[in-house]
Amino acid sequence: MADAAPRVTIIMATYNWSSVLPYSIGSALGRTLSDFELLVIGDGCTDDSAEIVAGIGDDRVRWIGLRQNSGHQSTPNNEGLSRARGEIIGYLGHDDLWLPDHLESLVKAVDEGADLSYSITRWVSPNPRDDPIFLLPEYKPGLFIPPSSIVHRRSLIEKIGGWRHHREIAEVPETDLLRRAHGAGFRFAFVPRLTLIKPPAGLRHNAYRDRPSHEQALWLERIRGDPDLGNRLLVDALCSYVPPRRMVYRDLVGQLWGETWRRIGRRFARWRAVPSSPGAIVEESRRTKGLTAISNAATKSPGPGGDIR
């Protein structure tokens, strides 16, 4: 008799960064909702990632290795979707971490009628002046939501198709997927809970070359040691904000000037980064992370069920 299908399939795309896997997978195994399978999809890995996953020792965790690196999570995500047994799909970045109530909170929103739900992210930037909270109460087409903060019904993919390869579109595949789902009329729900810790590799120069894992280790220790960490992080973010009326005038002017120049700098950076061709955004991010360009042979990403082995 075949094993009963799990309620949720978690898809984790990974490429040659085995040192972070015990922490990201460890955060997934500490869920308050345990009815899931975790498919770790190696995107043409040449390191010891397969051995690290095998050493986890949990029957819910399964390694699937692709022969060729595709350059983005789209292809391994599609492979995971083609093998998923759960009716609900979640994504977990290999260097991200979930808080214990992540799946329970987002699946509850789906059970209450949403087709796709997403939560609040603790954005761990190397720049201490960046906003530490990624909070988007209302989705509008074109906005970015970290995939690790999302779950959706598998039927959503069956209707709109899988993840598109980054060289086929002008925007990042994550944004494209959400745009298509929203345009097809699927219901989005914001869950007002902080359930994800995300140290973006795109903000860490040469992250894939150096492959550090100290941040993930520290955050997983905090998650395991503080059952109320999500609420505490939200409160800390709110308390760090000083209302302008309570500021000394000199401090207020200084903050306004600083914020103005910071936003101008970001705007110029965005202008410089405007893609001239499909895939340019992802390719630029790959260079920042310390990854080399991918070959043209890996430019197509078949949908769920496609032959990419």
Please give the radius of gyration of the chain, using alpha carbons only, rounded to the nearest integer: 20
- Domain locations in the chain? 8-241+275-298
Separation of alpha carbons 45 and 63, rounded Å: 11
- The answer on pLDDT for 272 being more than 50 is no
- Cβ neighbours of residue 111 under 8 Å, at least 6 residues apart? none
pLDDT recorded at residue 281: 56
Contacts 24+ apart (CB under 8 A), 267-272: none
Asked whether the CA dihedral 225, 130, 177, 108 is positive or negative, the reply is: positive
Q: What pLDDT digit, counting tens, does each position of 150-170 carry?
A: 999 999 999 999 999 888 888
Amino acid 257: pLDDT: 55
The 10s digit of each residue's pLDDT in 273-289 is 444 565 555 556 556 55
pLDDT, the chain, mean: 84
Residue range 227-244: mean pLDDT, rounded: 80
pLDDT in tens, 184-206: 999 999 999 999 999 999 888 88
Tokens standing for 93? 């970045």
For 123, other C-beta atoms within 10 Å of its C-beta total 18
Tokens matching residue 269: 């950076």
Tens digit of each residue's pLDDT (9 = 90 or more) over 75-124: 999 999 999 999 999 999 999 999 999 999 999 999 999 999 999 999 99
| Pick from 237, 152, 224: nearest CA to 191 | 152
CA–CA distance, 239 with 249 (Å, rounded to integer): 20
Rounded CA-CA distance 261/264 in Å is 5
pLDDT at 303: 45
Q: Report the predicted TM-score, pTM, of the whole model to 2 decimal places.
A: 0.83
CA 176 – CA 166 distance, rounded (Å): 10
Please, where are the H alpha helices in the chain? 21-29, 49-54, 74-83, 102-111, 154-160, 173-183, 207-210, 214-225, 229-239, 249-272, 280-289
Q: Is the pLDDT of residue 266 over 90?
A: no
**What is the 3-state composition of the chain as percent helix, strand, coil, each rounded to the nearest 5?**
45, 15, 40
pLDDT at 294 over 60: no
Q: Could you confirm whether domain 8-241+275-298 is CATH 3.90.550.10?
A: yes
C-alpha–C-alpha distance, residues 208 and 292, integer Å: 10
